[in-house]
Amino acid sequence: QAYTNPDTMTQDLRTGALDAAQGVPAAQFTELESADGIKAIAYNFINWDYIDFNCYEGAASGGHPVLRDPAFRVALDHAIDRERIVDLVYGGRARPGYTMINSDTWRDPDFHWEPPEGVRRTSAPEKAKELLDAAGYRDSDGDGVREDKQGKPISLRLWALAESTSTQGEGKLIAGWFEDIGLDIRFEVVDNGAASDAMYAWEGDDPAPDYDMILWFWDGYYDPGSTLQCFTTSQIGWWNEVYWSDA
């Protein structure tokens, strides 16, 4: 049976309407560990949540142009506190992700790569502000919202998924962090199908992705090579839903 609401699914598990369920929200999982008649099992799930920035540079792109600037995206990365997301959204049952190949998944060899100190972008809101200033995104009129290079206030859409309570929890935190560094964020929970339609929109033969930022998720493949191909230029409009390309 498929559920669009994991809370309803968990309640049906409690009442005995279900014999088993996968994807129980972290807070309820903790409660189920001590519930009579239920065995709660945590395991390494080849999955990660992440933010899709619309990087498409085509004329039909509906994304905000600032997201095509690597300096802007790096600054936003420093505004995010991954450890806090792990604690508050996942109840400690996750790991901060910096790359798209999960840790503790592959053996002989382990294909996971962890950025070393000095390369890994940790939570540093003040550094995020400095990077935005240096890249030319300043709050020149002092109203609390930075302007783009044409002098317009930067207002970005951030979507979480109605079917994913984890993306909703992450979205609330991230929207606040982005606002703290001087951006106007319009946070909204949307249907998975609506988000996918916006990602994969086309105008004739040309991609026309119409989103700014989406909290998305990915189920990795057991073959790491299949995962690594996703953000290649040849996959733009398909698995590469961020439309990012770099030589």
CA-closest candidate to residue 183, choices 192, 191, 174: 174
DSSP readout, the chain?
---S-HHHHHHHHHHTS-S--S---HHHHHHHTTSTT--------SEEEEEEE----STT--S-GGGG-HHHHHHHHHH--HHHHHHHHSTT-S---SSSS-TTS--SS-----PPTTTS----HHHHHHHHHHTT---TTSSS--B-TTS-B-EEEEEEETT-HHHHHHHHHHHHHHHHTT-EEEEEEE-HHHHHHHHT-EETTEE----SEEEEEEE--SSHHHHHGGGSGGGBTTTBTT-----
Q: What pTM, to 2 d.p., does this model score? A: 0.90
Residue 83 · residue 94 · CB < 8 Å: no
Q: What is the tens place of the pLDDT at every residue in 52-94?
A: 999 999 999 999 999 999 999 999 999 999 999 999 999 898 8
At 93-141, the pLDDT tens digits run 888 999 888 877 788 888 889 999 989 999 999 999 999 999 999 999 9
